[in-house]
């Protein structure tokens, strides 16, 4: 039976990591997948995570199942991160949160919820976007369309084009937005643009859905929720997929959350009963450890302060690498203007390198970046900067 099966294409991001691992060259550099590396090129466990784990080791008394949506403490901690501690959405009980296995798990639950409960709507996705978005929404049988977002000419946002594409969205359609640190461009709407988008969704009766995987990597943990909070003021219904892979460095613990906001607590409760039945048939109930760590850190004042500093340190190091990257290319005599890279947010830089240049970087220099030209700045270090920039200078 199996001999009829045709091989699936390699994943554009994780497939690259597999190729990288198999590359025997000692001087290879992996700037494909979005994983934070410190100055020595390691991805350490955050100090706050280690402390929270020590506490949990002491206080954990059982490995019994969690409930389908995970613990109430985790759900509340996630909502406070998203909407702010004293948000009316929380006190009015209009938000319900299910712990999910990673941001991808949260997106998959969201996609299934949309398909089963909202019918044959279209999900509008930015062009470009994270490569896996199409797969996740497509897997639930949803139709996707792209809205314009990025101008290759200005290396910035094409907001007018974005609005005119969203003009084609129909009432009930879903608009997927990146909460901050747009992946792959690193370009986020400003406050006025968030407001315009929030009003547009409300007026056209579009359902906003946020993919929020980098909270804290643009300006700060609170600051980065500004766009979502503007939306929450103007839209009574929202969906949010959170990931804590990057901001807690909990990549392999697969910790994320799906949050649903409805007009009232009653409507939220009923809708959430459907979310629970979706989770039950996909993974039954979530893994406990990662979410317990996140809860411990967010609910302990000292750990929370220390964690925010750890996030700030990661953010600052990435920014330093952006500046060094632009400067090193300049020093190597590269004429092209790469200064836009310093204005982008988050882990990634949308470099403008084309497919052939990306292929040459891999083949000739052992430098791995995603086919779209997306570079993980979070993987740059002072040590790999010169060979990286020399390779880029050679292929330009
Ligand atoms: C990325 O975009 O590199 C990360 O979100 C990791 C992934 O799962 O693709």
**Domain count across the chain:** 2
User: How does strand 207-212 pair with strand 238-243?
Assistant: parallel
Q: Residue 386 belongs to a domain with what CATH number?
A: 3.90.1150.10
**Taking each helix axis from N to C terminus, what angle separates 382-395 and 301-331, rounded to the nearest 10 degrees?**
40
Q: Which two tokens stand for residue 261?
A: 């906001």
Q: Tell me: do 153 and 244 sit in the same domain.
A: yes
Predicted pLDDT at 118: 97
Give a yes or no: residue 65 inside a domain: yes
Tell me the per-residue pLDDT of 23-75, one tens digit each, with 9 for 90 and over: 999 999 999 999 999 999 999 999 999 999 999 999 999 999 999 999 999 99
Predicted pLDDT at 155: 92
Ligand 1: centre distance to CA 184 (Å): 10
Give a yes or no: residue 344 inside a domain: yes
> If you ran DSSP here, which 8-state letter would residue 342 be given?
G
Q: Tell me: do 224 and 126 sit in the same domain.
A: yes
Q: Domain end: 302, 329, 355, which one?
A: 302
Ligand 1: centre distance to CA 222 (Å): 23
Predicted pLDDT at 256: 98
Predicted pLDDT at 11: 92
User: Which is the closest atom of ligand 1 to the Cα of 376?
Assistant: 3
User: Which is the closest atom of ligand 1 to the Cα of 104?
Assistant: 8
Beta-carbon contacts of 59 under 8 Å, excluding residues fewer than 6 positions away, are none
Predicted confidence band of residue 375 (pLDDT cuts 50, 70, 90): very high
Predicted confidence band of residue 244 (pLDDT cuts 50, 70, 90): very high
Residue ranges around ligand 1 (CB below 6 Å) = 13, 33-34, 130, 132, 183
Predicted pLDDT at 315: 97
User: How does strand 156-157 pair with strand 150-151?
Assistant: antiparallel
Give a yes or no: residue 229 inside a domain: yes
Ligand 1: centre distance to CA 149 (Å): 20
Q: Tell me: do 75 and 180 sit in the same domain.
A: yes
Q: Tell me: do 358 and 210 sit in the same domain.
A: no
Tell me the per-residue pLDDT of 155-194, one tens digit each, with 9 for 90 and over: 999 999 999 999 999 999 999 999 999 999 999 999 999 9
Q: Which two tokens stand for residue 57?
A: 């080791």
Q: Which two tokens stand for residue 31?
A: 């700037």
Predicted confidence band of residue 392 (pLDDT cuts 50, 70, 90): very high
CA distance 95 to 76: 9
ipTM of the complex: 0.94
Q: Domain end: 280, 302, 324, which one?
A: 302
> If you ran DSSP here, which 8-state letter would residue 153 be given?
T
Give a yes or no: residue 308 inside a domain: no
Q: Which two tokens stand for residue 204?
A: 């056209």
Predicted confidence band of residue 125 (pLDDT cuts 50, 70, 90): very high
Q: Residue 130 belongs to a domain with what CATH number?
A: 3.40.640.10
Q: Tell me: do 146 and 230 sit in the same domain.
A: yes
Give a yes or no: residue 32 inside a domain: yes
- The mean pLDDT of 296-308, rounded to a whole number, is 98
Convert 342-370 to b/e letters by CB count within 10 Å (16 or more is b): eebbbbbbbbebeeebbebbbeebbbbbb
Predicted pLDDT at 200: 98
User: Could you tell me which residues are beta bridge partners of residue 211?
Assistant: 178, 241
Q: Tell me: do 22 and 63 sit in the same domain.
A: no
Beta-carbon contacts of 260 under 8 Å, excluding residues fewer than 6 positions away, are 95, 96, 97, 113, 238, 239, 240, 268, 271, 272, 275
Backbone angles phi and psi of 12, in degrees to 5: -65, -20
Closest CA to 250 of 95, 55, 54, 36: 36
| Average pLDDT taken over every residue of the chain | 97
Q: Tell me: do 141 and 252 sit in the same domain.
A: yes
Pocket test for ligand 1, best of 132, 211, 246, 251 (most atoms within 8 A of CB): 132
- Atom 9 of ligand 1 has which residue's CA nearest to it? 13
Specify the 3-state DSSP secondary structure of 71.
Answer: coil
- Which residues constitute the domain of residue 55? 49-302
Predicted pLDDT at 75: 98
Q: Which two tokens stand for residue 269?
A: 């409760």
- Atom 1 of ligand 1 has which residue's CA nearest to it? 34
Indicate the pTM of the whole model: 0.96
- The mean pLDDT of 377-381, rounded to a whole number, is 96
Q: Tell me: do 57 and 103 sit in the same domain.
A: yes
User: Which is the closest atom of ligand 1 to the Cα of 102?
Assistant: 8
Predicted pLDDT at 207: 98
Give a yes or no: residue 307 inside a domain: no
Ligand 1: centre distance to CA 182 (Å): 12
Q: Tell me: do 37 and 70 sit in the same domain.
A: no
Predicted confidence band of residue 224 (pLDDT cuts 50, 70, 90): very high
Predicted pLDDT at 258: 98
Give the CA distances from residue 29 to residues 23, 253, 364, 382, in Å, rounded to whole numbers and listed in that order. Answer: 10, 25, 12, 12
Ligand 1: centre distance to CA 34 (Å): 5
User: Which is the closest atom of ligand 1 to the Cα of 132?
Assistant: 9
Q: Tell me: do 130 and 158 sit in the same domain.
A: yes
Predicted pLDDT at 62: 95
Predicted pLDDT at 240: 98
- The mean pLDDT of 331-355, rounded to a whole number, is 93
Closest CA to 150 of 326, 373, 384, 323: 373
Q: Tell me: do 257 and 340 sit in the same domain.
A: no
Residues labelled as active-site residues: 130, 211, 246
CA distance 311 to 309: 5
Predicted pLDDT at 221: 98
Q: Tell me: do 133 and 231 sit in the same domain.
A: yes
CA distance 159 to 125: 14
Q: Domain end: 302, 327, 351, which one?
A: 302
Do residues 281 and 140 make contact, with C-beta atoms less than 8 angstroms apart?
no
């Amino acid at each position: 039976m199996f001999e009829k099966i045709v091989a699936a294409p390699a994943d554009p991001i994780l497939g690259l990591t597999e190729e990288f691992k198999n590359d025997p060259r000692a001087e290879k550099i992996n700037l494909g997948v979005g994983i934070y590396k410190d100055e020595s090129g390691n991805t350490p466990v955050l100090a706050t995570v280690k402390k929270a784990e020590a506490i949990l080791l002491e206080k954990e008394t059982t490995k019994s199942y969690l409930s389908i949506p995970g613990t109430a403490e985790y759900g509340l901690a996630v909502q406070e991160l998203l909407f702010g501690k004293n948000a009316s959405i929380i006190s009015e009980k209009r938000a319900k949160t299910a712990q999910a296995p990673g941001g991808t798990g949260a997106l998959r639950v969201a996609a299934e919820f949309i398909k089963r409960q909202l019918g044959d709507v279209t999900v509008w996705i930015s062009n470009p976007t994270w490569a896996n978005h199409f797969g996740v929404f497509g897997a639930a049988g949803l139709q996707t369309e792209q809205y314009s977002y990025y101008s290759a000419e200005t290396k910035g946002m094409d907001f007018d084009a974005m609005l005119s594409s969203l003009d084609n969205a129909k009432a009930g359609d879903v608009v997927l937005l990146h909460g901050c640190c747009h992946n792959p461009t690193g370009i986020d709407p400003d406050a006025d643009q968030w407001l315009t988008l929030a009003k547009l969704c409300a007026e056209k009766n579009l359902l906003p859905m946020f993919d929020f995987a980098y909270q804290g990597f643009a300006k700060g943990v609170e600051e980065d929720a500004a766009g979502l909070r503007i939306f929450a003021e103007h839209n009574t219904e929202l969906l949010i997929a959170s990931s804590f892979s990057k901001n807690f460095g909990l990549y392999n613990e697969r910790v994320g959350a799906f949050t649903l906001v409805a007009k009232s607590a009653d409507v939220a409760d009923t809708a959430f009963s459907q979310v629970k039945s979706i989770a039950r048939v996909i993974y039954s109930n979530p893994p406990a450890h990662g979410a317990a760590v996140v809860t411990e850190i967010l609910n302990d004042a000292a750990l929370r302060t220390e964690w925010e500093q750890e996030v700030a340190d990661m953010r600052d190091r990435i920014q330093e690498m952006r500046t060094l990257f632009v400067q090193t290319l300049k020093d190597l005599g590269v004429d092209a203007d790469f200064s836009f890279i310093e204005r982008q947010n988050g882990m990634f830089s949308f470099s403008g390198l084309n497919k052939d240049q990306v292929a040459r970087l891999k083949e000739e220099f052992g430098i791995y970046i995603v086919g779209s030209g997306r570079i993980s700045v979070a993987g740059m270090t002072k040590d790999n900067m010169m060979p990286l920039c020399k390779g880029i200078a050679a292929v330009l």
